[in-house]
Chains A and B, each alone.
Chain A
Amino acid sequence: MPMTDPAPAPKLPTAAVGRRRLPSLIWLIPVVAAAVGLWLVAHTWLEQGPIVTIQFSSADGIEVGKTKIRYKSVDIGDVKGIEISEDRKAVVVSAQVAKSAWDLLSRDSKFFVVRPRISGGTVSGLSTLLSGAYIAIEPGTSKELTVNFVGLENPPEVTSDMQGREYILRGEQLGSLAYGTPVFYRRVNVGHVTKFSLDSDGRGVEVGVFVNAPYDRFVTSNTHFWHASGVDVTLDANGLKVSTESLVSIIEGGIAFQELADLPPPHGSAPSGASFTLYDDRAQAMQLPDLHREQFALYFPESLRGLSVGAPVDFRGIVVGEVKSLGVEYEKADSPIRFPVLINVYPDRLRSRSLNGSSPGAYSQAKSRAIIDRLVAHGMRGQLRTGNLLTGQLYIALDFFPDASKAAIDWSGTPPVLATLPGGLTEIQDAVGRIARKLDRVPIERLSGELSQALVSLDATLRSSQKLIGQLDSQVAPQATRTLAEAEQALRAANALLAQDAPLQKDVQNALKQVAQSARALAVLADYLERHPESLIHGKPEDPR
């Protein structure tokens, strides 16, 4: 193609192709993504705490994925699995616990299942009705951490955040106590029962009670605990008295405690875990404790039937002791068999009831023995008496018999012997026996022979008298009847004569009237003569007119 010499092409600008040393900024995006992703994963990973296994006897109410582990109602974990233990006796619940809850997993931490619980006084775990049960943790104090636990079957009644003290009570029987039964101090609910168990020898029960913080200082060594269950009905000389701690305690029982006022002041409040006696009722609890005792042996002449161990020893109505044992003793083959009755007498009961107002001094054996010596010198003797006529139960009465022969206590004996007198019933028996013996001496056979003779003669007498009566009946009676009839006639005639309108009566009346008139005339004459005696000589003067 014809072309003019082309003009030299203008010099094209050449692009400088530089190689960037740094990669494009766009690569920041995957870096950020990686960082975010790593953070998300790491965050989730780090938040996941340890997996703990908890052994329960049953998985009742526990569901995988739903049941939570809670501490103070805050979720700190989830149940991830439930398996049956290898020996098939328990279930093993594995749960994921939040990382932040690591330090709750002390070796002595306790796990328990919270289910709705309704007892007489309280309703707890009500939210679990809807949400289902949850596993609660009660953190321990140990620094050692672990992930394998054995769960509690019952929620602990005392949690670590409760202030107060726990005490052990020993009693004869549990009564109506249960977990959570309230404890009252002056009718204020100050605590609850935390546990109870039978003694290892089965002779009593051991009850654990927890007394909340401000009130635990009222529990001292002088404090007595008693069963405050139900209603206490007493019928005494003042009438019927019903007392109870509270309505709740009627339903579910309770324990009350109070300090004995009469005792010397205690040294501060009782330490946690202190042990006390659990009395059956308030009266028993409020009794002064018998610190001292004297033992005596009594030998009664009569049978001990009806006397039992524990029977009261009564000093004019006040129980000062009890029968400790009954027995039989004989020293040699020829010595008479004796029946010793051992009694415990508590001198404190005599002492504290002294009326002299001042506080009783310190107990001394010598002093109390001196008192007893004096009492015996005044005629104090032991006597068996019938406490209950229906059951024939006996008790031992200490009473004064000033007429009793002199006696004294030999304190060297072990135990010393207290003189006795035959009981009231025995005396009556003796009297009856004496009468019977006298009756026995009466010659009944001779008496009966004489009696039969007397009866025969009596019979004859009776027969003759009967004859006499027959005569009377046949002869005397008709005559008498006749006589009576005549008498009646005579009387009737007399009656006719004496009647008001009878002629005789009229005549008599007239005669009497005339006699009265004559008498009046005579009286007038006499009167006149008295005033005019001269008229006897001169006669009656003329009328002056």
Chain B
Amino acid sequence: MRAPRSLQRTSAYLVAAAILYVPANVLPVMHSSSLLASQDDTILSGVVYLVRSGSWPLGLLVFFASVTVPLLKILALGFLVWMSACRSRAHMLARARLYRVVEFVGRWSMLDIFAVTLLVALVRMGRLASVLPGPGALAFAAVVVLTLLAAHSFDPRLIWDPVDAND
């Protein structure tokens, strides 16, 4: 049983994810306030802070998981959808593998959201210190969920369809 209108669904999810990718990276994800100061952090400012403060492996990890992976996912799925829509027969095996990688790696992008959620839940000390999710967190979570949905709704059999048709 094939998923109905797989290509359309996937591309719709992808477009939505691509749109929300912009506010997810521009808007602050986390608003932390303490007695001394309060500040807003976007994902990129967090990465910059991590790299500057010396823990660049962690910074790279966050950058990879939160910035690169969603983008690559959107691009990769878009590429797959495009190729399938064109009924291309090129690199079909590689495309199938790419799809598997995308589906596998997708869930790790929620790392940031998990971190923010944990902080929001844990750091509740009233006036002393508190952490609140910013508007970027919503957009970012939406991007991740949408890419997951897109990967899920894409039917990998579409990659191989042109082979059957030409037999």
Contacts and interface: CB of A to CB of B under 8 A. Distances in A.
Interface of A: 23-24, 26-27, 29-30, 32-34, 36-37, 40-41, 43-44, 65-66, 130-132
Contact of A24 (B12, B17, B26, B36): B12
Interface in B1-46: 5, 8-9, 12-13, 15-17, 19-20, 22-23, 26-27, 35-37, 39
A475 to B, nearest CB: 126
Nearest to B34: A131
A32 B20 CA distance: 10
A29 B22 contact: no
Contact of A33 (B5, B9, B20, B37): B20
Contacts of A27: 8, 12
B44 to A, nearest CB: 15
Contacts of A33: 15-17, 19-20, 142, 146
A259 to B, nearest CB: 48
Given A24-B8, A26-B5, A130-B36, A37 B20 contact: yes
Contact of B5 (A24, A36, A37, A130): A24
B139 interface: yes
B35 A131 contact: yes
Given A26-B9, A30-B16, A37 B36 contact: no
A93 B95 CA distance: 54
Contacts of B98: none
A126 B150 CA distance: 55
B12 A132 contact: no
Contacts of B15: 30, 33
Among the interface residues B12, B22, B135, which one has the most CB atoms of the partner chain A within 10 A? B12
B135 A43 contact: yes
B37 to A, nearest CB: 4
A131 B27 contact: no
B9 to A, nearest CB: 5
A32 B13 CA distance: 11
Interface residues of B, number: 24
Nearest to B4: A24
A36 B37 contact: no
Given A66-B37, A131-B36, A132-B36, A37 B12 contact: no
B138 interface: yes
A130 B26 contact: no
A36 B139 contact: yes
Given A130-B35, A131-B35, A30 B19 contact: yes
Contact of A40 (B12, B17, B23): B23
Among A24, A30, A32, A130, find the residue whose CB has the most chain B CB atoms closer than 10 A.
A30
A34 B37 contact: no
B13 A37 contact: no
Given A23-B8, A33-B19, A43-B135, 15 more contacts: A24-B8, A24-B9, A26-B8, A30-B13, A30-B15, A30-B19, A32-B16, A33-B20, A33-B142, A37-B19, A40-B135, A40-B138, A41-B22, A41-B26, A131-B36
A368 B18 CA distance: 101
A445 B37 CA distance: 108
Contacts of B35: 130-131
A37 B9 contact: no
A41 B23 contact: yes
Contact of A26 (B12, B19, B39, B138): B12
Per CB-CB distance, the 6 closest pairs between chain A and chain B, nearest first, are A33-B16, A30-B15, A30-B16, A40-B23, A26-B12, A66-B37
Given A29-B146, A30-B15, A30-B16, A37 B8 contact: no
A26 B17 CA distance: 13
Contacts of A37: 19-20, 22-23, 139
A23 B139 CA distance: 25
Contacts of A131: 35-37
Nearest to B26: A41
Nearest to B21: A37
24 contacts: A24-B12, A26-B5, A26-B12, A29-B13, A29-B146, A30-B15, A30-B19, A33-B17, A33-B19, A33-B146, A34-B16, A36-B20, A37-B19, A37-B20, A37-B22, A40-B136, A40-B139, A41-B27, A65-B37, A65-B39, A66-B36, A66-B39, A131-B36, A132-B37
Residue of B20, B23, B136 most packed against chain A (CB within 10 A): B23
Contacts of B20: 33, 36-37
Interface string B74-111: 00000000000000000000000000000000000000
Interface string B124-155: 00000000000110110010001000000000
B17 to A, nearest CB: 7
B49 to A, nearest CB: 12
Contacts of A32: 16
B39 to A, nearest CB: 6
A34 B146 CA distance: 13
A24, A32, A40, A66: which has the most chain B beta carbons within 10 Å? Answer: A40
Contacts of B37: 65-66, 131-132
A33 B146 CA distance: 10
Contacts of B9: 24, 26
